[in-house]
Amino acid sequence: HPSLVAHRPPPASRSALPAASTTMAPFIATPLAHKLFLIAFATGATPGLVAAAAAECGSVGGACGAGAGSSVGEEGASLVQARSPAKRAAGVVRAGAAAATMAGAAKECGNSTRLMGQDLSVDIIVPEGELCVVQNVTLKGAIKAEGSVVLHGCDITGGVEVTAAKAGVTVEIIHTKITGNVKIMGGSTGAGPLLIRDGSDVGMVEAENIGHIRGSASSIGGIKVKDFNMGLALRDVRMGDGIDLSGGTGEIDLWGTTVGGALGIEMCQDCSINTDFETELHLGLEIKDSSGSLRMLGTAASGIGEVSVAGMDGSVWLESMEVGGISLEGVTGHVYLYEVTTGGPSTFSKSTGTLVAERCAFGGEFKSNSEFEGLAMKSCDFGKSRVAISGTAGPLLLDGNTGKTVFLEKNLGVNLERNEITTATISGNEGVVHIRKNVFQDVDCKSNAEAPDMQGNVVEGMAIGQCEAAAKA
């Protein structure tokens, strides 16, 4: 161009340029090489690389010759990029390099790379064996990792997916919002712990073959875990959906946590399950085919929430709580209910441990046909609900309860003391039957192995069968 020629530096000035620039000068003088220079400058290529690319382009004839038009720039860009495959593979995106972002490149993060204070619209890749630290980053993309990840103060819209190729992979989420889900696959080696804390807000958490999960002062969409070996602990966590745990071991602790769905636990071996007074289970608790212990203190699962256990080699302790109902089946250990209020039925079947209920209020039918080694109910209110107890293999004691209808049948030893019952039927029991200091409207005794021992009772209506004869004795 005439204006460029007019402002061309004098020969002496050109000779003073550095060697690399002198090498490039013949090629920049052509329009094609000028385009290559601009492309190389944008991608961070060295001056020597520019010259090599221009020389190579000049050797290809028609593809880079005069008259190639806009395609010349594209060919030149390909040549320059071909000289830097490592950068392309790593997905290195320089600050302000919009071209790489538009191309959908990914950004690698590892031991030598810490991402801080950036706005990114790419996926972040964490290689195997690396630790990626991301702090104060807004990411419109996903994190895909085979190594460990620490997220601090981030806003992520694409989720986090971790596939642990080796043992020891950990994920820590601190004061971070993740609109998508968090998925961790431990593989054959198993992943390390997942920690969610300090005001984080994440979507659904899915994990398989993982160590332990810890959450505190955060919001979680829901939790679904298969095969865990160090339990689950949530403190002051708000969950939009439920918790589904399968095939694990360890402690499961919920403190001050609200679960929008149900807490479901299946095939959890040697598990200690604990909830406290400030925990709410909106859809209750369900345990299947597990062992260990369940202890719920003051936990709210009222209305539609039910405590259901089907197969528990261990103990169950429910204290100072409201539940929609209780269903225990196949419990081998001690069952203790203290100050429990139910809105629906309570059933106990196929259990062989012991059952003690004190100061409880049953809003629905109470039914037990288990071979408990002992069953005691003290100071309970049955309201207008029906109570039916049969098949106990040890002493049966009802002391200081109130209710409308009670059926006691085929138990081994019966003791009724200081109860107020409208109608009681006591039949087919083995062993001694003691009926003392009760108040009945009507009481019917029949087919018991031994005649009941009745002392100090008040029968306002009728004493029938064996009870009639015993009352007159």
pLDDT per position as a tens digit, 199-220: 999 999 999 999 899 999 999 9
**What's the confidence (pLDDT) of residue 166?**
81
On the question of pLDDT at 39 being above 80, the answer is: no
Between 350 and 44, residue with greater pLDDT? 350
Note the pLDDT tens digit of each residue in 298-307.
887 765 689 9
Average pLDDT, the chain: 82
Note the pLDDT tens digit of each residue in 365-423.
999 999 999 999 999 999 999 999 999 999 999 999 999 999 999 999 999 999 999 99
How confident is residue 263, by pLDDT bands cut at 50, 70 and 90? very high
Q: For the residues 114-126, what does the mean pLDDT come to?
A: 96
Percent of the chain beyond pLDDT 70? Answer: 77
Q: Which helix (H) or strand (E) holds 42?
A: helix 31-43
**What's the confidence (pLDDT) of residue 440?**
97
- CA-angle at 137, arms to 134 and 139, nearest 5°: 105
**What's the confidence (pLDDT) of residue 168?**
87
Q: For the residues 83-111, what does the mean pLDDT come to?
A: 50
**What's the confidence (pLDDT) of residue 426?**
97
Rounded Cα gap, residues 124 and 430, in angstroms? 72
Under 8 Å between Cβ of 159 and 182: yes
- Strands 155-156 and 177-178, how do they pair? parallel
**What's the confidence (pLDDT) of residue 441?**
97
On the question of pLDDT at 136 being above 50, the answer is: yes
**What's the confidence (pLDDT) of residue 188?**
75
159 dihedral zone (left: phi>0; alpha: psi -120 to 50; beta): left
How confident is residue 98, by pLDDT bands cut at 50, 70 and 90? very low
